[in-house]
Structure 1
Amino acid sequence: MGSIESPGAEVTTIDVQTAKDLMKSGYGYLDVRTVEEYEKGHVDAEKIFNIPYLFNTPEGRVKNSDFLKLVSSSCNKEDHLVVGCQSGVRSLSATADLLGNGFKDVSNMGGGYIAWVENGFPVQKPQKQDEL
């Protein structure tokens, strides 16, 4: 695999309850799923950003080469962020990349959106359900 592990980037994985508490206290939520996944439903957070870490292509998933640049244009390196995806795999890699790039307070939400929903926490979903 061609992933670059940043030495010294110690990723902290938190559970969804802790993530929810942090977001209530002012942390931002960075959803690294694809736009299509995000639009089907996402964590209900006051400060939320959707910046995909991977894109689906005909050849499979590829890393978003602009990921760090896009996050840096939406957030600054001192921002407190919770990073989440669908199940917690992409967000783990994304969190490691952010920490390795100088972001100070970034936590990975273990279990991702699936765990958030399973806990019955609030979500935002599109209103139009007839277009399934």
Structure 2
Amino acid sequence: MGSEPSLVAEPVQVVTVDVQATKDLLHSGPYRYLDVRTEEEFKNGHVENALNIPYMFNTPEGRVKNPKFLELVLSVCRKEDHIVVGCQSGVRSVYATTDLLKADFKHVFNMGGGYIDWVKKGFAVKKQVGEADAAEL
């Protein structure tokens, strides 16, 4: 047996920060917030100035991974950008952060607790009010 390349990928180290640390990063540095929730979730409320690139889509069969996720992120972010990835509760964002780190993004954090914790802390959110929503107000 020679020195064959390993088929096991090296594990990446996902660094998770809480919502307070995320807020501090977004307000004090060059960090961008990447919201990986579905468009529907995003429209119901999101962190101000967030980029929305869904990591998964809802289908009749359940959620499926967005096959163009990395391609879409690369169309708006550089691998050197400082990014905090968030979702609804902090699960999808771990997977998305892992994918970004494996794709050689250098400065990516996962926001633990997700949008749910962000709202619980009373931090500012932005909501998109459409024509259908305005009728309910």
Q: Please, what TM-score do these two structures have when normalized by structure 1? A: 0.90
Match of 1:14 among 13, 17, 21: 17
Distance 1:61 1:6 in 2: 25
Q: Counterparts in 2 of 1:116-131, with a 5 A limit?
A: 116-127=118-129, 128-131=133-136
Match of 1:39 among 36, 43, 52: 43
Structure 1 counterpart of 2:21, one-letter code: T
Distance 2:125 2:9 in 1: 32
What RMSD in Å do the two structures reach over aligned CA positions? 1.6
Q: CA deviation at 1:125?
A: 1.1
Percent of residue pairs identical: 61
Q: Please, what TM-score do these two structures have when normalized by structure 2? A: 0.87
Distance 2:15 2:9 in 1: 14
* Partner in structure 2 of residue 97 of structure 1: 99
Higher fraction of strand: 1
Q: CA deviation at 1:14?
A: 0.3
Q: CA deviation at 1:130?
A: 3.2
Structure 1 counterpart of 2:135, one-letter code: D
**Larger Cα Rg: Structure 1 or Structure 2?**
2
Distance 1:100 1:59 in 2: 28
* Partner in structure 2 of residue 27 of structure 1: 31
Deviations 1:22-50 (A, max 9, x none): 111220000000001000100123xx210
Between the two proteins, the alignment pairs up a number of residues equal to 126
Q: Which runs of 4+ in 1 moved over 4 A?
A: none
Structure 2 counterpart of 1:49, one-letter code: L
Q: Which runs of 5+ in 1 are unaligned?
A: none
Specify the SS of the correspondent of 2:85: strand
**Between 7-16 and 71-80, the greater mean CA deviation after superposition:** 7-16
Distance 1:131 1:54 in 2: 28
Distance 1:43 1:74 in 2: 18
